[in-house]
Structure 1
Amino acid sequence: MVRTRPERAAVRQEVLVAAREVFADLGYHRASLDAIAQRAGYSKGAVYSNFASKDDLFFELLGAELATMTEALTTGVAATRDRDTDLYLVAAALLAMAEDGRAQLIFSEFRAHAAREPALAARLGEVRTTLVDAAARRVQAEADAQGLALSMSAHDAATILLTLSNGLALEHVGNEPGQVIAVESLAVVIGSLVVPRPDAPPSSDPQE
């Protein structure tokens, strides 16, 4: 049953949720605004009143997914302030995201689609730049908070983390969780991005 007179913000959010499900089930090319509207429980007109096209809808969904990814990479880190624990948490977050392989397949499919459309490719590049810049700020802030120095630019460190996330997601397709790489091994790789800062005071152990 199609609902009437919902709040506009609620419509957008529910359409985005439905779009993620439909894109995951059917892939980008087979998904249609009709199918997304039906999954959300709204008319096609309600979808078009919020999104001009399937591409516009996908870009908003992509932005939301990438923001969630950036947030997940540092979730829990600020609370521990312990290097080994933090590296493990970041590695675990990367693997958890990678296990949702269907989402990465959708993004890969859309990248191939955008590569043949210059306007879409430029727009996708802008989204990527925004994401990397945001991730770089988070990476630098966490390194500063822990008295660590990055072994490269924050931009490059963020790019490596996001590349790891993308690659691990593809590697997880057809594999069970835990079969691709051990979280401890991934933590070692991520640990190479940071080094102790020479002028940082030694950490104190309250039990000493």
Structure 2
Amino acid sequence: MTQNPIAPRLTRDESRGVTIERLKTAALGEFVRVGFAGASVDRICETAGYSRGAFYANYKTKQDLLLDLLNDYNTDEIANWHSTIGRARDMDSIYADMAARFERYVSKADWGVFAVEMMLQARRNADFAVTYQAYQEKIMDDVARALSLMFDKAGRRPPAPVAGLATALRSYATGLSLEYSLHSAHRDPKAASTLLTLFLRGLVAQGTAVATSRTGS
């Protein structure tokens, strides 16, 4: 009789990683559902399947957990933008890849609402506002660098300062994420990604073509 293999035991660090990820997933749903102020550590723990002890073994407060989620939010996605643009063969492959990524992003409806909740918490809490502003500045710098890479790849100069274009892009993407995740009549991530691609194509089209230098005798 064939016995099923016994799954290897997780190491201490692996077990802690699983605990943290489950707490973060539960907290994201809790923050989106009732906001930061209404969020309950007990409900987060209950949803994650842990005791309060597991929570406080990893976080001191709800805000520490919010900051951990903040660190997750968009950081990996923007890093992937840089990688995608850097290795792309042409602009069409950039647009296709970014559309696919945004489609997956919009499908995770909670992140759009979470973005708004973070903004509200920053308005209400001066200590969190300092951390949030530092995060925003880093993210906007990363988005601006990604846009600069995209214009370089297209051989065009941006039609406006990339810092302003980065702000417009992020605002538009957040708005699309909310619109296409909250309204039942609009729950079509593919439609949202198509609109984002049109936005990006429009930005690039408005840029000025960079003249190529010619050498010769």
TM interval, shorter chain, is: 0.7 to 0.9
Decide whether aligned partners of structure 1 residues 188 and 76 sit closer, same or farther in structure 2, where only a CA change above 3 A counts. Answer: same
Cα-to-partner distance string for 1:68-118 (whole Å, 9 max, x where unaligned) = 332454564444332234234334433442343332223313322331222
Give yes or no for contact 2:85–2:146 (8 Å, CA) kept in 1: no
For residue 187 of structure 1, what is the aligned residue in structure 2?
A: 197
Decide whether aligned partners of structure 1 residues 49 and 178 sit closer, same or farther in structure 2, where only a CA change above 3 A counts. Answer: closer
AA aligned to 1:198 is V
Distance 2:43 2:17 in 1: 20
AA aligned to 1:90 is M
Distance 1:168 1:53 in 2: 32
AA aligned to 1:176 is R
Q: Secondary structure at the match of 2:157?
A: strand
For residue 176 of structure 1, what is the aligned residue in structure 2?
A: 187
Decide whether aligned partners of structure 1 residues 92 and 157 sit closer, same or farther in structure 2, where only a CA change above 3 A counts. Answer: farther
For residue 93 of structure 1, what is the aligned residue in structure 2?
A: 101
Q: Secondary structure at the match of 1:199?
A: coil
Give yes or no for contact 2:112–2:178 (8 Å, CA) kept in 1: yes
Q: Answer yes or no: is 1:44 the counterpart of 2:52.
A: yes
For residue 13 of structure 1, what is the aligned residue in structure 2?
A: 21
Distance 1:182 1:40 in 2: 31
Aligned-pair identity (%):
23
Give yes or no for contact 1:114–1:120 (8 Å, CA) kept in 2: yes
Distance 2:34 2:79 in 1: 27
For residue 63 of structure 2, what is the aligned residue in structure 1?
A: 55
For residue 210 of structure 2, what is the aligned residue in structure 1?
A: 198
For residue 73 of structure 2, what is the aligned residue in structure 1?
A: 65
Distance 1:154 1:143 in 2: 10
For residue 160 of structure 1, what is the aligned residue in structure 2?
A: 168
Give yes or no for contact 1:115–1:121 (8 Å, CA) kept in 2: yes
Q: 1:122: how far off?
A: 2.2
Instruction: Name which of structure 1's ranges 169-178 and 124-133 shifts more when overlaid on structure 2.
Output: 169-178
Decide whether aligned partners of structure 1 residues 84 and 192 sit closer, same or farther in structure 2, where only a CA change above 3 A counts. Answer: same
Give yes or no for contact 1:97–1:165 (8 Å, CA) kept in 2: no
AA aligned to 1:190 is L
Q: TM-score, normalised by structure 1?
A: 0.75
Query: Is the helix fraction higher in 1 or 2?
Result: 2
Distance 1:57 1:80 in 2: 36
Whichever of the two has the greater Rg, that structure is 2
Number of aligned pairs?
A: 198
Q: Answer yes or no: is 1:119 the counterpart of 2:127.
A: yes
AA aligned to 1:61 is L
Distance 2:91 2:190 in 1: 25
Structure 2 gap ranges (5+): 1-10
Q: Secondary structure at the match of 1:192?
A: helix
Q: Secondary structure at the match of 1:59?
A: helix
Decide whether aligned partners of structure 1 residues 182 and 44 sit closer, same or farther in structure 2, where only a CA change above 3 A counts. Answer: closer
For residue 206 of structure 1, what is the aligned residue in structure 2?
A: none
